[in-house]
Amino acid sequence: MADAGLAESKRPVSGMATRRCYAPGVSSSDHTGMDRSRIVALAAILAVAAAFDARFFLGVLGETAWVDGWFPGVFVDFKNTWFAARLWLDGDLTPLFDIARYNAARAAYFPEDLVHVWSYPLHFLLIAIPFGLVSFPVAGLAWTGLNAAAFVAFVRRTLRLDWQALALVLLSSGFLSTVFFGQVTGFAAILLLGGLRLLPRRPAIAGICFGILTIKPHLGLLLPLVLVMERRWTAIASAVITTAVLVAVSLVVIGVEPWRLALTAGLGNQGAAMLERSFLWSWEPSWYAGLRQAGLAFGPAMLAQGVAALAACGLLVLMHLRGVPEERQHELVPLLTLFALPYVLPSDMVLAAPIVALALCDPRTPALPWMGLAMLQFWAALCFFPSRSFGVPVYPMLLTAAVAWFAWDSLARRMMPVRVAAPSAAAN
């Protein structure tokens, strides 16, 4: 007969994955809310972020003159997309794979630009070509508007974030950078987060999402590990078939010769674009970029990034072995992917913005991790200055701290003892 009172049980915490994250069937309004002190702290953090963001964005506008009805600094990352579409419409894609020819040809449209490199797989052009049919400002507004609107609708209706959490996503450095620079990461986030959400129930559709994500293949870095660990053979087959279909269609539409050049000369150019553009290092939250900015050579910096990548893979494996619910594992895949990659722009951080926003809204997030997550979510522009001026990699530190917090929250709390009422003597 058990004594009356409370007994300790080692059973896993039920509903852990739904406590603060976007698990199926659970609205964020069920478990979010900030007290007054955190609202005040968040307002201060956002005020600082607004000051530095305004300094940066207005600086971009002020340093570049109004050219042909547009500010050259706005939608700057979309220029590659639009210009590649124009090259296809003109019937010659070969400049994409020669940096000197590419930038000489670009100068006819964007004479004020820095040196740029084409850095996408060629089947990316299948979605880019229609935008080349109109002028750059019109195309940029359409591209960014569709990208942003689709992402907001996805976050609100599919991930079911309430308006408080949604606002923290829309104010994030990742989302603002995506909009300002015309990046495709909003669409990529839909494919990655949506595919992971569909994986347990609709693996074939999830695989289609992952196959399309090969337009930004590095963002799917950890997907093979996840799919193999969970034995998602249907999703793997679907992803492979989808990728093969996209490549086959692009071979018909674009041609064989551009693909040959892409696989020979193009890959080297892409590697240089992603790893050796030193003016981007201060903006990146990766350890590779942070350490390069601090003065380390390629080898040691890449070694440190390799350790981070192994840690990300190890955490996924450990969560799988410890029985952390799949929903929780899937929610952390985007954050761990960003931690593992050597090349991560602030716009890529939009992939992790929803889970960070929900942690900020959850009153159960401890104060110190809450502060670090808030800085990670909003302070990309501020992190630029200590890195550029003093070589202090603040942005990678914040990302590492976020990974450590979510890992502890998922692993330690997953097996934390739960106090349950034991049957009383009278009940026996």
| Mutual angle of helices 185-198 and 173-181, in 10-degree steps | 130
Tell me the pLDDT tens digit for each residue of 122-134: 999 999 999 999 9
* In the predicted structure, residue 31 carries a pLDDT above the cut 90: no
Distance CA 49, CA 45 (A): 6
Higher pLDDT, 275 or 44: 44
In contact, 9 and 417? CB cutoff 8 Å: yes
Helix ranges (H only) for 276-393 are 287-293, 298-321, 326-340, 353-361, 367-378, 380-390
The DSSP secondary-structure symbol of 155 reads: I
Residue 119 has what pLDDT? Answer: 85
Name which of 16-20, 198-202, 414-418 the model is least confident about.
Answer: 16-20
H or E element at residue 203: helix 203-212
Positive or negative torsion for Cα 227, 232, 238, 241: positive
Q: DSSP alpha helices (H): ranges in 213-325?
A: 223-229, 233-254, 256-261, 267-275, 287-293, 298-321
Q: What pLDDT, on a 0 to 100 scale, did the predictor assign at position 221? A: 97
Angle at 37 between CA 36 and CA 39, to 5 degrees: 65
Q: What are the structural domain ranges in the chain?
A: 16-416
Q: How confident is the model over 50-68, as pLDDT tens digits?
A: 888 777 766 655 555 444 4
**Over 50: is that where the pLDDT of 17 sits?**
no
Per-residue pLDDT band for 419 (boundaries 50, 70, 90) equals very low
Per residue in 322-358, pLDDT tens? 999 999 999 999 999 999 999 999 999 999 999 999 9
pLDDT of the residue at 139: 95
Name the band, by pLDDT with cuts 50, 70 and 90, for residue 13: very low
